[in-house]
Amino acid sequence: MKPAPFDYVRATSIDHSCALLAEAGGGAQLLAGGQTLMPLLALRMSQPFILIDIGHLPELQGVAPHAGGLRIGAATRQADALANPLLARALPVFVTALAHVGHHQTRNRGTIGGSIALGEPAAEMPATAVALGASMTLRSVRGARTMAADDLYLGPYATAIAPDEMLVAIDYPAWPADAVPLFREVARRPGDFALVGLVGALAIAEGRIERAGIAWFGMGPTPMRARQAEQALVGQAIDRIDVQAIADLAIADSAPFDDGHASAAYRRSVGRRIFASSLAQALDRRLAA
């Protein structure tokens, strides 16, 4: 199929983009990487009457220190973020998760903000934002506002971003340089959306967990934060943690479903196993260090 007719505008700034979104009254789509949007247009599953190209705007790109953490521009290419040394040092679990997004070819065009704003429940970047406690900066002609990643996702492909708003940046708070990363996903093939996945980090000091951020992907209608597991881990000595009990708590905060790829029972069983094994391996590495 071919896309339905639409107008194309190459935005000159964030303000110009916001003005176009406001004028469109919900009939516009933003184009940055286009790795999801272009197939949807071709299938006529998305039929905007105007495309607003923002992928070239320099104020939407790059990685920089911000408020003690890191700010990533929404239109930053995934391949550029993957090669960024600042991200590799400060948020290694982010880079690990990003390496599992799509394929080399799609990462050359796909953007960090595009993946986060899409709200695919089985994608790595939304869950990573939730697990690491990221916040979103949104802009419109009404001004700017900040929203926690926890509050962004309402359902599959549904977010709290208003039709006249655009995501301009994602802020990740600082994590200790020696924070223990957690990442595991099960997919049919490399580059496929995960059937089951988890991502997170543990900050450890003097043999005890001081901070935990963990989220599931592919385990519910949105990225699912493993709050009970996080709370149970904080304050525990790492050599006395019952990983199976923590895995049970983590599963309790998921909402797996049946679909054509896997059953809810499969997701629950595999999720429990990979959580327990990932946590055990991460703690063993720290104890052996």
- pLDDT tens profile 83-96: 999 999 999 999 99
CATH of 7-53, one of 1.10.357.10, 1.10.490.10, 3.50.50.60, 3.30.43.10: 3.30.43.10
- Rounded to two decimals, the pTM is 0.96
Residues 6+ apart with CB under 8 A from 120: 36, 126, 156, 157, 193
Tens of pLDDT along the chain (289 residues) come to 688 899 999 999 999 999 999 999 999 999 999 888 888 888 888 899 999 999 999 999 999 999 999 999 999 999 999 999 999 999 999 999 999 999 989 999 999 999 999 999 999 999 999 999 999 999 999 999 999 999 999 999 999 999 999 999 999 999 999 999 999 999 999 888 899 999 999 999 999 999 999 999 999 999 999 999 999 999 999 999 999 999 999 999 999 999 999 999 999 999 999 999 999 999 999 998 7
Among candidate residues 38, 34, 58, the one with its CA nearest the CA of residue 46:
38
Superfamily of domain 180-288: CO dehydrogenase flavoprotein, C-terminal domain (3.30.390.50)
CATH, domain 58-172, list 3.40.1440.10, 3.40.50.2300, 3.40.50.150, 3.30.465.10: 3.30.465.10
- What gap in Å lies between CA 66 and CA 105, rounded to an integer? 30
User: Where are the CATH 3.30.43.10 domain residues in the chain?
Assistant: 7-53
DSSP, res 179: P
Beta bridge partners of 205: 208
Residues 6+ apart with CB under 8 A from 265: 256
3-state secondary structure of 168: strand
Q: Which helix (H) or strand (E) holds 88?
A: helix 85-90
pLDDT tens digits, residue range 236-246?
999 999 999 99
